Structure 1
Amino acid sequence: MGKQEFLLPARPQATSADKRPKWNTIVLLASVSALLWKGFRHVDVKLLDSPTTAPICPQVPALSPQTHKHLLADIESEYVTDDFKSRVVEWLGGAIQIPTQIYDDMKDVGNDSRWDNFGKFHSYLEDAFPLVHDRLEVTKINTYGLVYRWEGSDASLKPLLLMAHQDVVPVQEDTLSQWVNPPFSGYFDGEFLWGRGTCDDKHGLIGILVTLETLLKHGYKPTRTIFLASGFDEEISGHFGARRIANHFLSTYGENYFAMLVDEGPTLTKAFGARVAALGVSEKGYANVQVSVASPGGHSSVPPTHTSIGLLALVLVHLEENPEPAHLTRTSPLYKLYQCQAEHSPNFPEKLKKALRKSLHSDKALKTAEKLLFASEGGDVNRIYLSTTQAIDLVGGGVKVNALPELAWGVINHRITTDSSLNATHSSIIDKLIPIARELQLDFEAFGSSVSTELDPAGQLTLSHFGDDDLEPAPVSPTDSSPYQLLAGTIRGIWETGRGKYSEEPFIVASGIMPASTDTKHFRKLTPHVFRYNHLGTEDMRPLKSQPQNGGKHSVNEAIRIDGYRDQIRFFTHLILNADEANLSLRIS
């Protein structure tokens, strides 16, 4: 084919009349230009950028298995039976009855009898899920870490990794009377199953094992290899369990071995008239800082104005009165979440919606959106999610009632926002404490370096690391990828064929963050596609109206609604089958 020329239309020749100046037109154009120039002087320069034509928060369509649709139909028909519901109650209830509690001072495995319950738990799992333990390869890491491998028929496909942990936080003895049903009873009242671990995170582990057992029962043979990794000390940062498992994977398979990873995370929430599934594409960092105050001892009959405990109290109160500010930024995964809510939620505040739209190109509008966001429904929660939080969780000091304490200390737990860092967090604490250290006449040392000294110090203020758990915020998993599309489409498919089937509630799937720290922190080298999500609604974890929306997680009266839990099992089933058919190496343009 020869060279193709693109010709412009011929310009008509001007007549003598056309060549005469049209003064009225010129005057009009000059006036308009002046007005426009006057207006532009007051417009945010960034608004002059060409507006994007891309849709805001397009929603991934529902995804359902096609190759295995007949198999799925058989499984789904089983899931809705009363017999299956009874077995779910038995499976999860039996797991709850074994108190796999974990404590901050746990010694190495083999040197602490408190680990023994995990051996009993493993025996229970072997009895409860015979097909899984007979047909899958099971490897134990550091005695109690569990790795299940279901070999797929196509070794060229990167495996799917599912995760859930076995351990639970302890139940305080003095709270036992507050439990409606005993915390390790696994009691089922006909709607809710009660006990520690029902929501965090034995429901996840049992849900995956139920799925695997059911798929094996129905003769399913995967194309893509499936892994289940289960640590046993997630509640104390996973150094004995998940970290060892991750190191095993790295040494055995190498970096970026998995196509994607799905672990516990945010649940379905309700906001502005819509149901929202916010996938945890990142999670906050973590830093424990010990604040210590040392001062001269002596007899309590001749006390100074402030003892070391009093000085510590003033320091801690000062920190609490000066929390880290919360800011809405375009780089936060939550910014995309709010844009999605503005686009799809029927009751979203109109002023906030307009500010968010303009904030795509205007820093001034971004500040306005931030202010409106914190003043809107759920504003306090948004503020927490968008800031580095601090919680004073431990204090100590003094040895006798008539002796002045020579040392007092407290430990502050920080959850570092995804836009910040460990260094920024440490620097902020130091900056906040410099003025009060001077006011109280305390020498100030932070993390091994002298910050300030006093001529006649009343004591010594020291900041130090507590433990070795400091962690940077997690990298943000890409949302323009096939693993994200697979997960989002699976979630929508579960909603539309489950509890959302007869609901008029708009359903939104968007990126979000995990405000806490999960075992995924040890797996960052194994895949860039790390997601944290639980397909449970807030109503599934709230047996009492007086409870907060997260139910009894880490508190009293933890319980799970079994009908909602069946949707969690459906989620794992659909995810495995969808992943088997998906090309998870694609990048979505």
Structure 2
Amino acid sequence: MSKEKQDLLLLAPPAPRTSQRTFNLKSLFLFLLLSAITLRCVPLNLAARYDHETTFASSCPQVDALVPQRGADVLANISDLLATSTFKTKAVSWLAGAVQIPTEVFDGMPAVEEDERWEVFAPFHDYLSDAFPLVHTMLDLTKVNTYGLLYEWKGSDKSLKPILLAAHQDVVPVEPETEDQWTHPPFSGHYDGEYIWGRGSSDDKSGLIGIMIAIETLLEQGFAPTRTVVLAYGFDEEASGLQGASALGAAMRDRYGEDDDPFAFIVDEGGGFTDRYGTVFATPGVAEKGYLDVHLEVTSPGGHSSVPPAHTTIGMLSRIVVEYEDNPYKVELSRDSIPYALVQCHAAHGATMPKKLKHLVRRSRRSNEALNKLRDVLIEDNQFKSLISTTQAVDIVHGGVKSNALPEQAYALVNHRIATTSSVHETMVHDTALLAKLAAQYNLSYTAFGDTLLRGGSRTLTLKDAYGRSLEPAPVSPIAGKGSEAYQLLSGTIKATHAAHRGLDLASKAGQITVVPGMKTGNTDTRYYWDLSRNIFRYNHKNTIGSGERLPGVHTVNEAVSADSLLEMIRFFTTLILNADESRHI
């Protein structure tokens, strides 16, 4: 890899289905050609969606730190508390206690009333009630679908839009065979003097507990909000939120949805801050990729394995899987995308980015040649490549039941995370076209997403939305110009929190943080909250500087979060609530 590439590496509703029809091979390719043309002609509103972003990317302006005025004394008192060992010990204990209650969820769990595994959340609710008595005395709590938690801290001015702070109670399961690989047991909540260890300590009980501590402490200080604060805690985010956030979203639409866009902003789990090119960058997520699980199924008549056909269902499925992996989605870097804005901001504010590389980034604004060169450099980093492109991962495969019986069916599941400049429909059309030649080669009857495209022999190939929960790329939250007031407030809060936690002078630029738009490769519970606010931010102010060895612990062994990060998250949520309470611009 060239030095230039090394320097620039960055870690950074489906269309209506047509009716059933039967095609011969010639008609199939005509259909695919027309589909491709249609996709070019159908307006996806992408230009409008990203219009505000393009201006931002050209200069990446920054706002000043935002410190509450009316709540200055309250914030000062809480800041003094955060500096004490007594409060630190209490905060660590709060999170450790939450980690010690296993709240694992699994894929494919049935409805709450049909599976006793959901009952793990009852003791967690009891724990929250005991740990945060003021929250449970002063806030109204509604339990949605039994285990979803919806708190309302009523403000005195009903004309102000409420804010929504979200988190999730559940954690990914711990594989039993990995338990001996943990430095400390996965549900111990062990504190070693620096880190709190255990499943959920980072994802996402630190966010949930950080919010609860902030509000409990504000209540202890006698603070009464002017603007209503709503808390929504789902319980199956790690299994796509079908039982938790989905029900919470519906409940909030019923309660607050008289007007469009009922919340001033929403903050859920997401980005943090880290050092990049000699500058500390915070990256609140303002977009999310789309999602589609494709179920591939091959069938053929069974029989005795002593008289096999040339290709069994498993053999044909294997060839189809190879076709996928040999033909990944084309990677394009779009100027109308959040990852491109992130690159522009790194160039604008990265103190140690080499001048030649900065020049390439800036030249890419107008030169397609430079843009393609920049893309080729950036995609050397698989993390960034996954941000800008539609990805595909073959995650599940199954076929056969006995060694002497021909498998009558074999299937695989391909998970797609859809680029923000694409769509579910475009992804379906791509996959359909990809496998057309193989379907014809094996004389398979070919049905893709409800359309029968080929009539072959007795063998079949079927593509379908595996779980019926495909997701379009999320609307992008405004980050510049009119309508971006919430992003500016969030940015100012991030800057104030970062400076206060380190004792930095707000008047000096030394050591200050730069706020830039970001996005993750995965999805959050906010997929169910799109119609609740135009301003959705995936951010919980987690410090990842120098903690790279901890990051792999998310969803795997040795998950941990530092006590100092927890304290800074508490400061962030406290400052955010106070800033939002006195703002009249959101």
TM-score, normalised via structure 2 length: 0.86
Q: Does 1:79 align with 2:85?
A: no
* Unaligned 5+ runs, structure 1: 1-50
Q: CA separation in 2, counterparts of 1:108 and 1:58?
A: 47
Tell me if structure 2 keeps the 8 A contact 1:541–1:552.
Answer: no
Q: CA separation in 2, counterparts of 1:151 and 1:384?
A: 41
1:543-586 alpha-carbon deviations (Å, 9 max, x no partner) = xx4x6xx331111111111112211111101100111121233x
Corresponding residue number in structure 1 for 2:283: 278
Q: CA separation in 1, counterparts of 2:146 and 2:256?
A: 21
Q: In structure 2, the residue corresponding to 1:551 is in which secondary structure?
A: helix
Corresponding residue number in structure 2 for 1:292: 297
Tell me if structure 1 keeps the 8 A contact 2:273–2:545.
Answer: no
1:421-570 equivalences in 2 (<5 Å) = 421-454=423-456, 459-480=459-480, 481-499=484-502, 501=504, 507-539=513-545, 542=548, 545=549, 550-570=551-571
Q: 1:340, CA displacement in angstroms?
A: 0.7
Tell me if structure 1 keeps the 8 A contact 2:281–2:515.
Answer: yes
Q: Which amino acid aligns with 1:487?
A: L
Q: 1:453, CA displacement in angstroms?
A: 4.3
Q: 1:441, CA displacement in angstroms?
A: 4.0
Q: Does 1:303 align with 2:308?
A: yes
Corresponding residue number in structure 1 for 2:396: 394
C-alpha RMSD over aligned residues: 2.1
Q: 1:324, CA displacement in angstroms?
A: 1.2
1:465-506 alpha-carbon deviations (Å, 9 max, x no partner) = 111211101000101211000001111111222248499656
Q: Quick one: structure 1 residues 53 and 104, their matched pair in 2 at CA, closer, same or farther if it must change by over 3 Å?
A: closer
Corresponding residue number in structure 1 for 2:13: none
Q: 1:261, CA displacement in angstroms?
A: 0.4
Q: In structure 2, the residue corresponding to 1:391 is in which secondary structure?
A: strand
1:49-89 alpha-carbon deviations (Å, 9 max, x no partner) = xx999971111111111211121111011012111111112
Q: CA separation in 2, counterparts of 1:265 and 1:141?
A: 23
Corresponding residue number in structure 2 for 1:13: none
Tell me if structure 1 keeps the 8 A contact 2:498–2:512.
Answer: no
Q: CA separation in 2, counterparts of 1:318 and 1:267?
A: 37
Q: Quick one: structure 1 residues 583 and 514, their matched pair in 2 at CA, closer, same or farther if it must change by over 3 Å?
A: farther
From 336, 343, 349, the equivalent of 1:338 is 343
Corresponding residue number in structure 2 for 1:573: 574
Q: Quick one: structure 1 residues 301 and 72, their matched pair in 2 at CA, closer, same or farther if it must change by over 3 Å?
A: same
Q: In structure 1, the residue corresponding to 2:282 is in which secondary structure?
A: strand
Tell me if structure 2 keeps the 8 A contact 1:541–1:560.
Answer: no
1:152-231 equivalences in 2 (<5 Å) = 152-231=155-234
Q: Which amino acid aligns with 2:531?
A: K
Q: 1:292, CA displacement in angstroms?
A: 0.8
Q: CA separation in 2, counterparts of 1:53 and 1:217?
A: 40
Corresponding residue number in structure 2 for 1:122: 125
Q: CA separation in 2, counterparts of 1:267 and 1:243?
A: 25
Q: Quick one: structure 1 residues 368 and 114, their matched pair in 2 at CA, closer, same or farther if it must change by over 3 Å?
A: same
Q: CA separation in 1, counterparts of 2:242 and 2:504?
A: 42
Tell me if structure 1 keeps the 8 A contact 2:57–2:344.
Answer: no
Q: CA separation in 1, counterparts of 2:207 and 2:427?
A: 32
1:411-442 alpha-carbon deviations (Å, 9 max, x no partner) = 11111111110001111111221233334443
Tell me if structure 2 keeps the 8 A contact 1:342–1:348.
Answer: yes
Tell me if structure 1 keeps the 8 A contact 2:495–2:512.
Answer: no
Tell me if structure 2 keeps the 8 A contact 1:344–1:506.
Answer: no
Tell me if structure 2 keeps the 8 A contact 1:540–1:561.
Answer: no
Corresponding residue number in structure 2 for 1:327: 332
Q: Quick one: structure 1 residues 54 and 389, their matched pair in 2 at CA, closer, same or farther if it must change by over 3 Å?
A: closer
Corresponding residue number in structure 2 for 1:142: 145
Q: 1:163, CA displacement in angstroms?
A: 0.3
Q: CA separation in 2, counterparts of 1:53 and 1:216?
A: 38
Tell me if structure 2 keeps the 8 A contact 1:144–1:232.
Answer: yes
Tell me if structure 2 keeps the 8 A contact 1:352–1:373.
Answer: no
Corresponding residue number in structure 2 for 1:240: 243
1:154-200 alpha-carbon deviations (Å, 9 max, x no partner) = 11111111000111111111221221211111111111111111111
Q: Quick one: structure 1 residues 58 and 184, their matched pair in 2 at CA, closer, same or farther if it must change by over 3 Å?
A: same
Q: In structure 1, the residue corresponding to 2:552 is in which secondary structure?
A: coil
Corresponding residue number in structure 2 for 1:32: none
Corresponding residue number in structure 1 for 2:29: none
Q: CA separation in 2, counterparts of 1:273 and 1:492?
A: 17
Q: CA separation in 1, counterparts of 2:76 and 2:430?
A: 56
Q: CA separation in 2, counterparts of 1:353 and 1:499?
A: 29
Q: Which amino acid aligns with 1:152?
A: G
Tell me if structure 1 keeps the 8 A contact 2:477–2:535.
Answer: yes
Q: Quick one: structure 1 residues 353 and 373, their matched pair in 2 at CA, closer, same or farther if it must change by over 3 Å?
A: farther
Q: 1:397, CA displacement in angstroms?
A: 1.4
Runs of 4+ more than 6 Å apart: 51-55
Q: Quick one: structure 1 residues 292 and 428, their matched pair in 2 at CA, closer, same or farther if it must change by over 3 Å?
A: same
Q: In structure 2, the residue corresponding to 1:354 is in which secondary structure?
A: helix
Aligned residues between the structures: 525
Which shows bigger deviation, 429-438 or 144-153? 429-438
Q: Which has the larger radius of gyration?
A: 1
Bigger relative contact order, structure 1 or 2 (CA pairs below 8 A, ≥6 apart): 2
From 62, 66, 74, the equivalent of 1:59 is 62
Q: CA separation in 1, counterparts of 2:103 and 2:416?
A: 26
Q: In structure 1, the residue corresponding to 2:287 is in which secondary structure?
A: strand
Q: Which amino acid aligns with 1:559?
A: A
Q: 1:374, CA displacement in angstroms?
A: 2.8
* Unaligned 5+ runs, structure 2: 1-53
